[in-house]
Chains A and B, each alone.
Chain A
Amino acid sequence: MSAEMKSQDSDNDSDYDQSDHMDEDEEDFCGYYDNDTDDLDIDRPKKTDDPEYFEYELLKVEDVERLLNEDVEFLCSCLKVDPHLAKMLLQVHQWKKEFIMERYKKDPAKFLVDSKITPAVKYKSAPLGVQNTCSVCCRKLPSDYFCHLSCGHVFCRECWDNYFQVQILQGVTSGIECMENNCHILVPEDFLCRSLSKPELRDKYTKLSFLDLVNTHPQLRFCPGPNCSNVVRAKDTRSKKVDCAQCKTIFCFGCGMEYHAPTDCATIRKWLTKCADDSETANYISAHTKDCPKCHVCIEKNGGCNHVQCTKCKNDFCWMCLGDWRTHGSEYYECSRYKENPNIANESVHAQAREALKKYLFYFERYENHAKSLKLEEQTLSKITTRIQEKVMINSGTWIDWQYLLDAAVLLKKCRYTLQYTYPYAYYMEKTARKQLFEYQQAQLEAEVENLSWKIERAEITDRGDLENQMDIAEKRRQTLLKDFLEF
């Protein structure tokens, strides 16, 4: 243990000062940096040591638009194509510029066909006469009422307009195909905008298509905070922690849900669904009820007596063995038959359901308890502020002297948060040595967090060293757990 403590001390000062750290990240992201030559500040731990380290930047809507336009312009000048085509290619291929350039340069014609922009074989319609029938609305119209995409399928302008209106009202803005059955040629944005007759739908299209661009762009994600329009950009698209500077929402870049380390995105989704639905209700019913052996009605035991009489069919039976009560003779409350002849078929199902419920509740209670404690820690924070003011008023240290207590409360929240999300992880873990190790580390973190919580509530200015030591231990435990179990 002492060796372990030592190694923890050696890389002292991790990321307590989150905000400072973050500014650094953002600067680094925009400019250049080389991790290995970061020798100006030797004491600072290497960024790669922090399991939660993540480079990202927060963008406003205008920044995103500018950024996307830059990509479009870049592609325009490289491939010598018009901006509409460049944008379409980027959208179809998830903004993978290098991939697009490579494939386009190799064989532009084939690439456009593969991208569903031009047809493999152009449809040859009968030449338009003075009057023509639109195959969708069946009306006879002059030839200048008709238009088509690169595939050559001709329809009247009003039908195109109606078609786009219906798509937009259904919330579809990307991947809209030609109206012809089995023709998959994509509708270019400029064609769509020219066809749309209603200006309000054009606005709706612009809005929806921007949402779509951000949602399909692998490097971008909307901040999920309520009424927050920020967009996060990260070059590395993993399940990492993002902290929105504007609305303070902390979320996972990978899935956009609450940050959930060490649990991964798929597992947390499974866990949250499990908590939200009532799959455990069914388990509860299995665990707490039995079916009457005679009429099979579902019975919940409402008293201690094992002699149960079914209210429906008046059958007297033993709750333990489900056998006829008369055979039990004078033995009351304890079923000897159960020990002799356990009703395996029935019992095993119940036992399994009970066991599953017990397991789920075990993890859920702890998960829920930390969630509740986290809310309480908000109150702790305001209590600390009041206490600091009182202490300063009676000249027990200055305001600056007491700041460490606020830092401690922030750290405590962070540790509790991680602890909360260790429970879904543990719930889905297989019973292996790795799970034993995980639960060992989890228990260690639990203990240190409770120590920290206790010390924060009773801190006096003279204990500062002790408290800071405790902070360090708790954070080290948290980091160790994340380092060992946070999978990428």
Chain B
Amino acid sequence: MAGLPRRIIKETQRLMQEPVSGITALPDENNARYFHVTVIGPKESPYENGTFKLELFLPEEYPMSAPKVRFLTKIYHPNIDKLGRICLDILKDKWSPALQIRTVLLSIQALLSAPNPDDPLANEVADAWKSDESQAIETAKAWTQKHAI
């Protein structure tokens, strides 16, 4: 881990010692800036019981710029597109150096509980969500069954 900033070392240690419930984040053997992440679908959400894989990368400027996070598991969500990219303000203009990997992943977990179709990334999904929410939730459940379990 030569040349790895102290901040990243500290964060990694804490993620291992005090893991967040429903979330795992393991650094890659060969790259300490690349994390293999899993997020468990929150209770009472269409993603319940699903295990979603994500990848998280800390760029050179981290923590002055935000980590890059992407879903690897297919998910039906208005703020996540088919490439797994996430529309979340703290990953973009609302990033603050005081935020951490832990807070980012918690926010992503919260996004699964509270989809926001008014600020969509996947337009078709957002339209479906707005026009027939119960049908959209059914589709999200079906996708969870098919891809995340």
Residues of A at the B interface (CB closer than 8 Å) are 135-139, 153, 155, 159, 162-163, 165-167, 170, 177, 179-183
Instruction: Determine if A180 and B98 form an interchain contact, defined as CB atoms under 8 angstroms apart.
Output: yes
CB pairs A–B below 8 angstroms (27 shown): A135-B98, A136-B7, A136-B97, A136-B98, A137-B5, A137-B6, A137-B7, A138-B7, A138-B9, A138-B10, A139-B6, A155-B97, A159-B97, A162-B61, A165-B64, A166-B61, A166-B64, A166-B65, A177-B96, A179-B96, A180-B96, A180-B98, A181-B90, A181-B96, A181-B98, A182-B96, A183-B96
Residues in B with CB closer than 8 Å to A162 are 61, 64
Chain B residue with Cβ nearest A164: B64
Residues of B at the A interface (CB closer than 8 Å) are 5-7, 9-10, 61, 63-65, 90, 96-99, 103
Chain B residue with Cβ nearest A137: B7
Residues in A with CB closer than 8 Å to B64 are 162-163, 165-167
Instruction: Determine if A138 and B6 form an interchain contact, defined as CB atoms under 8 angstroms apart.
Output: yes
Residues in A with CB closer than 8 Å to B90 are 181
Residues in A with CB closer than 8 Å to B5 are 137
- Nearest-Cβ distance from residue A339 to partner chain B, whole angstroms: 40
- Nearest-Cβ distance from residue B88 to partner chain A, whole angstroms: 14
- Give CA–CA (A137, B65) in the complex, Å: 13
The 3 A-B pairs with the shortest beta carbon distances in the complex, nearest first, are A166-B64, A181-B96, A138-B10
Instruction: Determine if A136 and B6 form an interchain contact, defined as CB atoms under 8 angstroms apart.
Output: no
- Give CA–CA (A180, B96) in the complex, Å: 6
Residues in A with CB closer than 8 Å to B61 are 162, 166
- Nearest-Cβ distance from residue A6 to partner chain B, whole angstroms: 59
Chain B residue with Cβ nearest A159: B97
- Nearest-Cβ distance from residue A259 to partner chain B, whole angstroms: 34
Instruction: Determine if B6 and A179 form an interchain contact, defined as CB atoms under 8 angstroms apart.
Output: no
Chain A contact surface mostly = loop
Instruction: Determine if B97 and A179 form an interchain contact, defined as CB atoms under 8 angstroms apart.
Output: yes
- Give CA–CA (A163, B62) in the complex, Å: 10
Residues in A with CB closer than 8 Å to B96 are 177, 179-183
Residues in B with CB closer than 8 Å to A179 are 96-98
- Give CA–CA (A77, B65) in the complex, Å: 39
Chain B residue with Cβ nearest A181: B96
- Nearest-Cβ distance from residue A175 to partner chain B, whole angstroms: 10
- Give CA–CA (A137, B9) in the complex, Å: 10
Residues in B with CB closer than 8 Å to A181 are 90, 96, 98-99, 103
- Give CA–CA (A155, B7) in the complex, Å: 13
- Give CA–CA (A155, B6) in the complex, Å: 15
Residues in B with CB closer than 8 Å to A153 are 98
Residues in A with CB closer than 8 Å to B103 are 181
Residues in B with CB closer than 8 Å to A170 are 65
- Give CA–CA (A104, B7) in the complex, Å: 42
- Give CA–CA (A350, B6) in the complex, Å: 65
- Give CA–CA (A165, B60) in the complex, Å: 13
- Nearest-Cβ distance from residue B18 to partner chain A, whole angstroms: 15
Chain A residue with Cβ nearest B90: A181
- Nearest-Cβ distance from residue B17 to partner chain A, whole angstroms: 15
- Give CA–CA (A162, B103) in the complex, Å: 21
Q: Select which of A136, A167, A182 is within 8 A of B63 by beta carbon.
A: A136
- Give CA–CA (A153, B97) in the complex, Å: 12
Q: A137-B7, A181-B98, A181-B103 given; name 11 further pairs at CB < 8 Å.
A: A136-B7, A136-B63, A136-B97, A137-B6, A139-B6, A165-B64, A170-B65, A180-B96, A181-B96, A182-B96, A183-B96
- Nearest-Cβ distance from residue A158 to partner chain B, whole angstroms: 11
- Nearest-Cβ distance from residue B32 to partner chain A, whole angstroms: 15
Residues in A with CB closer than 8 Å to B9 are 138
Residues in B with CB closer than 8 Å to A136 are 7, 63, 97-98
Residues in B with CB closer than 8 Å to A137 are 5-7
- Give CA–CA (A361, B98) in the complex, Å: 55
- Give CA–CA (A159, B9) in the complex, Å: 17
Residues in A with CB closer than 8 Å to B65 are 166, 170
Residues in A with CB closer than 8 Å to B99 are 181
- Nearest-Cβ distance from residue A1 to partner chain B, whole angstroms: 55
- Give CA–CA (A4, B64) in the complex, Å: 68
Residues in A with CB closer than 8 Å to B10 are 138
- Nearest-Cβ distance from residue B51 to partner chain A, whole angstroms: 28
Residues in A with CB closer than 8 Å to B97 are 136, 155, 159, 163, 179
- Nearest-Cβ distance from residue A131 to partner chain B, whole angstroms: 14
Chain B residue with Cβ nearest A179: B97
Residues in B with CB closer than 8 Å to A163 are 64, 97
